[in-house]
């Protein structure tokens, strides 16, 4: 299993190469190849999930499993040391749920794409490239590698919306591209700053001749190098700068006097530079989540995107934003994470309430579900801001659960749109009489999303609320009124889902007269069952047996919160004292 993570990342890319070589007339073969590539990726993801040892995650900085680490780009900078980028991938409790989710949704999306007839080769090429990029994001442990995958997601999604989308697809695609690109630039600025501030102690020891090439460094040698760095006895020409995320998580690897060192004393608009860096990274990932007020691209993108791309967008791409906050923003800048806890939690609650109110006002079923995603992803921010074990477990569980449930929600919207070419809630009534099986899955999806006990959404919301309610005593970082307000988001979710359910599915069967001629209202076919049944089973399975995921992520979350709280408090005191002096 030496290169299992690389196969997990690049299997869709291999399938894309096969699709590229196929003549245009072999459209069905292209679909089979794309399905085979994503199925293989799912199989490998399940193997990684089953082989992952959740009990090994006792420390927020170590315990990565299935690690692959190779020197990729490296050259001497003379007196400035050595430039180094690594192909560094691994999986831990933070990423294992996202790996499994990506594998599942990737296959569902291909099945949903089976009816695509416009430029089939181009569509499946872009789809497979997108799957490679997303999986790479969740597995990369080198910031530069992460950024490459993060950026590369933009192009496939831009074209998938812009070519195969609805009437306003160009506007939606450009808006998505600009928003995400601006966020990427924020992250790029901080990545460059971190690179100039952090060294790789193991590679530096090799550069200085204290360690042989290919020989792993001992814990004592790493500590010795870090002490030498902080004492200023390592020459600049011997320093090996790094993009390694685990190296950036260790304060002792920051070069004294560097821009982002805790004691640098550099300020930007009266904020310590580390706080400004956190806000830039936070804003970059917040756009991807998305959170109010940088959420406006999402409803447009969802409405115009074809159903399979809406599924990928809601189920996987939004999770990259939340994952980036947990993987990069908080562990590298724990001082700023603690300082801005109320801001993060406040934006989360604002998203919960505002997204729910907007959903309640929507008459387009797809827009309603798009705004519900804004609301539910707000729980991720709230749980993360609490920095309690319950809250962070709930944030990760919410990302996984929402991935399954949102995929199901957008699929059921696609079913009615395929038949009536319309999604307007007021144009339908009594669909349960004509489409009983479809109605059953809509009921499951709606109730799973609003947090009915027995479904995964309930576990996620419960953990987030437990963490945020206990935060004032446990961490002292989050006011309790935020948790109280967040509860009303659940009530609003029940309101907009039940209103849509009652209006469209109950009562005497009726359809808007102008739709009757072109609508062919029929119940689910085999392909639609194939998409919806697994998602419904998984939402129920992880709702009844939450330990299936919590056992994998629990120790990693405990290490994460301990690391962030310990380093955060220490570094926050140092930053503020430096600012005062």
Tens of pLDDT, residue by residue over 359-416, are 999 999 999 999 999 999 999 999 999 999 999 999 999 999 999 999 999 999 999 9
Tell which residue, 324, 357, 315, 355, has the closest CA to residue 112: 315
3-state secondary structure of 66: strand
Confidence of residue 59 (pLDDT cuts 50, 70, 90): very low
Q: What is the pLDDT of residues 341-350, one digit of tens each?
A: 999 999 999 9
Q: Is residue 237 part of a domain?
A: no
Q: What band does 54 get if pLDDT is binned at 50, 70 and 90?
A: confident
313 assigned to some structural domain: no
**In the predicted structure, residue 61 carries a pLDDT above the cut 60:** no
> What SS3 state is found at 474?
helix
The predicted structure's pLDDT at residue 206: 86
DSSP letter assigned to residue 254: B
CB of 417 closer than 8 Å to CB of 364: no
- Whether 376 and 368 have beta carbons less than 8 Å apart is answered as no
Domain assignment present for residue 85? The answer is: no
Q: Which pLDDT does position 575 carry in this prediction?
A: 75
| pLDDT tens-digit series, residues 77-102 | 877 778 889 999 999 999 999 999 99
Q: Does the predicted model carry a pTM greater than 0.85? A: yes
- Token output for 99: 């790996």
Beta bridge partners of 429: 510
Residue 578: pLDDT over 60: yes
- Establish if 274 belongs to a structural domain: no
Token readout for 135 is: 């999986």
Is the residue at 261 inside a domain? Answer: no
**Nearest-angstrom CA–CA distance, 323 and 268:** 27
| 420-454 per-residue burial string, b: 16 or more CB within 10 A, e: under 16 | bebbebebbbbbbebbeebbebbbbbbbbbbbeee
Distance of CA 394 to the CA centre of its chain: 14
pLDDT > 90 in the chain, percent = 70
Q: Give the pLDDT of residue 579.
A: 64
In this predicted structure, what is the pLDDT of residue 231?
A: 87
Give phi and psi for 75, each to the nearest 5.
Answer: -160, 160
The angle formed by the CA atoms of residues 432, 437 and 443, to the nearest 5 degrees, is 70
Q: Which domain holds residue 393?
A: 340-544
Query: The tokens of 187 are what?
Result: 């992250």
d(CA 528, CA 435): 13
pLDDT tens track for 297-339: 998 998 899 999 999 999 999 999 999 999 999 999 999 999 9
| Section 555-577 average pLDDT | 84
Q: Note the pLDDT tens digit of each residue in 455-510.
A: 999 999 999 999 999 999 988 889 999 999 999 999 999 999 999 999 999 988 88
pLDDT digits (tens, 9 = 90+) for 103-155: 999 999 999 999 998 899 999 999 999 999 999 999 999 999 999 999 999 99
**Phi, psi (degrees; rounded to nearest 5) at 118:** -90, 120
Answer yes or no: is pLDDT of 580 > 70. Answer: no
- Separation between Cα atoms, residue 130 and residue 426, nearest integer Å: 35
Q: In this prediction, what percent of the chain has a pLDDT beyond 70? A: 98
- pLDDT reported for residue 178: 93
Distance CA 386, CA 355 (A): 21
268: pLDDT strictly greater than 60 = yes
Domain presence at residue 80 = no
Tokens of residue 475, six digits: 């961490």
- Can you give the pLDDT at residue 510? 87
- Using only C-alpha atoms, the chain has a radius of gyration, in whole angstroms, of 24
Residue 566 is predicted with a pLDDT of 86
The dihedral region occupied by 401, where left means phi > 0, alpha psi between -120 and 50, and beta the remainder, is alpha
Q: How many domains does the chain have?
A: 1
Alpha helices, H only, 244-388: 245-248, 273-288, 297-304, 307-312, 318-324, 330-332, 334-339, 341-361, 365-386
Q: Distance between CA 131 and CA 220 in Å, rounded?
A: 40
Reading the block at residue 429, the tokens are 């009534």
Neighbours of 283 (CB within 10 A): 16
For the chain, the average pLDDT equals 91
| Phi, psi angles (nearest 5°) of residue 420 | -110, -10
Q: Does residue 442 fall inside a structural domain?
A: yes
Q: What is the mean pLDDT of residues 540-561?
A: 93
Model confidence at 62: pLDDT above 70: no
Does any domain span residue 423?
A: yes
User: How do residues 500-514 score in pLDDT, each as one tens digit?
Assistant: 999 999 988 888 888
φ and ψ at residue 268, rounded to 5 degrees: -140, 115
């Amino acid at each position: 299993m030496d290169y299992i993570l690389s196969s997990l990342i690049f299997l869709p890319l291999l399938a894309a190469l096969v699709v590229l070589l196929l003549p245009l007339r072999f459209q069905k073969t292209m679909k089979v190849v794309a399905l085979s590539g994503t199925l293989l990726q799912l199989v490998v993801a399940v193997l990684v999930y089953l082989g992952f040892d959740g009990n090994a995650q006792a420390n927020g900085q170590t315990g990565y499993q299935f690690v692959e680490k190779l020197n990729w780009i490296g050259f001497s900078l003379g007196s400035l040391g050595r430039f180094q980028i690594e192909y560094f991938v691994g999986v831990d409790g933070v990423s294992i749920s996202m790996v499994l989710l990506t594998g599942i949704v990737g296959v569902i999306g291909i099945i949903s794409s089976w009816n695509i007839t416009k430029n089939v080769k181009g569509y499946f090429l872009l789809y497979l490239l997108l799957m490679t990029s997303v999986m790479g994001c969740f597995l990369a442990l080198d910031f530069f590698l992460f950024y490459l995958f993060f950026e590369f997601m933009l192009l496939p999604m831009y074209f998938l919306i812009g070519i195969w989308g609805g009437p306003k697809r160009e506007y939606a695609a450009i808006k998505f591209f600009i928003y995400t690109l601006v966020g990427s630039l924020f992250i790029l600025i901080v990545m460059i700053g971190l690179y100039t501030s952090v060294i790789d102690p193991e590679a530096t020891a090799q550069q200085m001749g204290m360690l042989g090439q290919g020989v792993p460094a001992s814990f004592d040698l790493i500590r010795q190098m870090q002490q030498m760095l902080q004492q200023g006895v390592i020459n600049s020409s011997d320093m090996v700068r790094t993009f390694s995320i685990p190296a950036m998580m260790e304060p002792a690897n920051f070069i004294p006097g560097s821009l982002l060192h805790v004691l640098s004393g550099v300020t930007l608009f009266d904020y310590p530079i580390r706080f400004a860096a956190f806000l830039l990274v936070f804003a970059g990932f917040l756009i991807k989540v998305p959170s109010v007020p940088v959420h406006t691209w999402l409803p447009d993108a969802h409405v115009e995107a074809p159903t399979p791309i809406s599924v990928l967008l809601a189920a996987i791409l939004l999770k990259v934003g939340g994952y980036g906050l947990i993987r990069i923003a908080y562990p590298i800048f724990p001082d700023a994470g603690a300082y801005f806890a109320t801001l993060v939690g406040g934006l989360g609650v604002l998203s919960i309430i505002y997204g729910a109110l907007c959903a309640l006002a929507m008459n387009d079923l797809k827009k309603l579900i798009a705004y519900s995603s804004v609301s539910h992803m707000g729980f991720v921010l709230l749980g993360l801001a609490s920095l309690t074990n319950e809250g962070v477990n709930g944030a990760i569980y919410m990302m996984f659960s929402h991935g399954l449930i949102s995929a199901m929600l957008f699929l059921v919207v696609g079913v009615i749109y395929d038949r009536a070419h319309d999604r307007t809630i007021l144009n339908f009534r009594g669909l349960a009489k004509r489409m009983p099986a479809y109605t059953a899955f809509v009921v499951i999806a709606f109730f799973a999303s609003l947090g009915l006990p027995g479904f995964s959404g309930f576990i996620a919301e419960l953990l987030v609320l437990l963490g945020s309610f206990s935060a004032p005593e446990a961490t002292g970082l989050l006011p309790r009124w935020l948790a109280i307000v967040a509860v009303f988001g659940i009530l609003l979710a029940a309101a907009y889902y039940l209103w849509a359910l009652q209006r469209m599915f109950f009562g005497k069967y009726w359809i808007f007269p102008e739709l009757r001629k072109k609508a062919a209202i029929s119940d689910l076919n085999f392909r639609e069952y194939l998409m919806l049944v697994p998602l419904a089973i998984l939402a129920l399975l992880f709702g009844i047996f939450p330990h299936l995921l919590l056992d994998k992520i629990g120790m990693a979350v405990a290490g994460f919160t301990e690391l962030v709280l310990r380093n955060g408090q220490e570094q926050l005191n140092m930053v503020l004292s430096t600012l005062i002096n």
